[in-house]
Structure 1
C-alpha cells in the first residue's frame, strides 16, 4: 500500500510540477530524494543498476548503448576479463561507478569526491613503468610497488587513484606533483587470477596510458610447460638435448636428444651415433619396476629414471591424457632418412595455447641398435612395463606417431632393449 501511494505521489508530482520527490512533498529539482531516517535505523542512498563488466561487454557486442544512452550510470561489480576490455569496455578496470560517454563510445569511470586536485602532467611514461619486486606469479600473493615516471608536472596536487586488474589492487595515495619530471608510486596488493598479459590503464592528472605486465605461471624452470590434461609440467626438450636456448617448437638436429633402452638410466646412442648396428648392444631387458616402483595411477620415480631432478618418465595414463587433450599438427617432411631432422609433431592445448613439439627421431632397433625410420616416426617411452618378467621377449609401452599426425597407439609395445626417445613430466 505504501509503495502504491508513493508511486501515485510521484506521478502526481510529474504531472503537476514536472518534478519528482521521494520522501518529500516539495521537490527542489527534477528528481529530489530526501533521507527517510536520520538516526541510522535504515539504509539510505540511491542504487544504480549493478552489472558485471562482462555484461556491458555483451551489451557492446549487441549494440545496446548508443546516443540515447549518453550519460547512463551503472555500478560495475567486477571488471571484464582482459580479452573483453575492448570497445566500450576498454577502460573498465575495476569495481566502481561508470557512465556511458557517447561521443567517446565507451564507459568512463566516475570521479567521486571533492578533492580532485589541480595537478597536471604532460606525459605518463607507461613504457618505462616498473614493478618492485618485478615478478608477478599467478595464484601467489603479491605486495609491491608500481613506479610510473611522468614528465611536465605542474607542482599541484592530485587525488587518490584506485584501479583493479586481474585480482590485483592498485592504490596511488593523494599527493603533490613535482615541477617537471617525477614518479608516481602505486601500492599493489592481491593475488593474480590469470597468467599472460595483464592490462593496466592509468588516468591521473589529465594524462593517461596503458601497458601490459606479464603474469607468470610461477615456474622457475623455463624448459617446461603446464599442458592440458593435468596440472603437471611437461619438459619442452627430449632428454639429452644440451642447448635449451633453442626454439623447442621447431625441429632440428640439436633437438633430437639421446636414445634410451627401457628401464636404463644411461643413453645408448645420440644423434651422431652411426646408423648401423652397435657392437655389444645390450639385449637383456630391464625389470618391470625399473622406471616406476609403484603403480600407473600413483607412479614413483626410481633410481634408474633418466629424467632430471623433479621430473620422471611419464606413465601410459599421462601420455593418454596429453594426447587426448590436445590438437596435433605435423611439421616437416616425414621421410625415412638418417639425415632428416626436420620432422615432428606439435601438441597444442585449446584452453591456453600451450604447445610442445616431439621430434620424429626414429628408433634404435632392439637386438642390434641399428637406427631405423628417423624423420618418419616418433617413439617415446612410458614407464609402463608389459610381460610377466619370465622371458627375454619382454616389452614396454611407448607413444608412437607417424606422418598422418594421428597417434597410431597410445600404448604401443616395443622390445625393452630398443632405443627410443624420452620426454619427461614433473613429479
Structure 2
C-alpha cells in the first residue's frame, strides 16, 4: 500500500507541476504520455469482454485494432463550434467506414459487400491521378500491375494498363475530325539527303502547324512532282491541341537531280514541301584492273597513239566522278587519263586513254584510285624493232620503196609493221633511170643526185617512227641512219 501511494504521489506531482501525466514514464512529453506497447479501451470490466479498441506500438509499426466491431469502424468528422465528445447537438459526418470483411466505404456507412472500396456521393466525383503521356510512360514497366489506371492529361482520356500496353478508354468514343489553322512547309525541318538514282533512306520532313483541335487525321501519301520517283507518307494520328508538328517519311528513288515537290493537304490546310535532290558522289563496290580490255600497243621510244584501257567495275551508285590523270611507274613517260563522268547504277566500265612516249620497254603500271576502290593497271611496252640488214628481200615486210614520181607528193608503205604515209620533197635531185634494187624489186624511176654540192631528200612521216634507216638503191650502196 505504501508503494502505491508513492507512485500516485509522483504521478499527481507531475500532473500539477507541468499539466502533463505520464504512465510508466517519469518524464511525460505530452498531456498524457503512456509508455508501453499495448493500451486500449474496453466496454465493461469483465475479463471476457470482447467489445474493445486497442493500439499496438511495435518496433516495426503501430496498429489500431478493434474486436466485437460487427458494424466495422467508422471515422466521423464534424465542423462543430459547440459541444464535447458528441454531446450538445454536435453534428458528425461519417467520412469512411471499415467493415470486418475488409470492405472500405467513403461517404457511406455500409459499403457494398462485393466492393473492396465504395465511393458514395451525390455532389462530388472521383478524381484519379492525372498524368501526362510522358509521366505515364515513366512509370517503370516492370512494376506496372495490370489494371493500373490514370487520367491522361495529354489526350484527356482515362488510360489503363492491360499488362502489355496502355489502353485508352477514348477508343470507344469517336474523336472529332482533326483541323488546323495553318501549316508551314517552308519552315520544315529536313532530315537526310536525297541523291539522284539512290534509294532514299532515313529521309524525313517535320512540318510545323498551329491551331490544332486535338482531332484525328487519316494520314497522307503524296507522290513527288518536278523530280519524280519519291513518295512522302504521313501516318494516321491526332493533331495536338494548339501547335504541333507532322512528320512525313520520304521513300523511293529520285529519277534526276533537282527539286522534288510534295503537295501537302491535311487538316483543311495546304502547302508545298520542296526537297533538293543532289547528284551523288560516285562510288563503286569493286574495280577490276586485271579484267581490263586493252586497245593499241605501246613501243619503247614511240609516242602512244590509239592506246586505251577499259576497266570494269561493279556496284556503281550512279554518282559522278572527276577527271583523273595517272602517270606510269616501271616504264616512265606515259599518262593514263580518265575524263569526268558518272558511274552506272550497278555494273559498268571506265576508259583510260594512254598517251606519252614510253622511255623503254617493260611493264608500265598505273595506280588507279576512283569511287572508293583502287587497283593497278599494267600495260606491256614492247622494244622497238631494228631495221632489217641490207641486202635481203625479207626487208620488204618492214620497209617500202620511194620512187622519184613521189617527189613533191606522198608515198604509202609500212615501217616496222605500221602503215605510214610519207611526204617527199627534194633539192638538187632529178629523175633517174629505172633499175632492179637490192630488195629484188623493180623501180621504174629513181632519184638521181645533181651536180650541186648539196643534194637534200626530205621524208616526213604522218606518224612517229623510230629506229629507221634510209638506204640508197645502188647495189652495194651504203645505209644512212635517220
TM-score (norm 2): 0.26
Work out which of the two has the higher radius of gyration on C-alpha atoms and give 1 or 2: 2
Of structures 1 and 2, the one with the larger relative CO (CA 8 A, separation 6+) is: 1
Determine which structure has the larger strand proportion and give its number. 2
TM-score (norm 1): 0.29
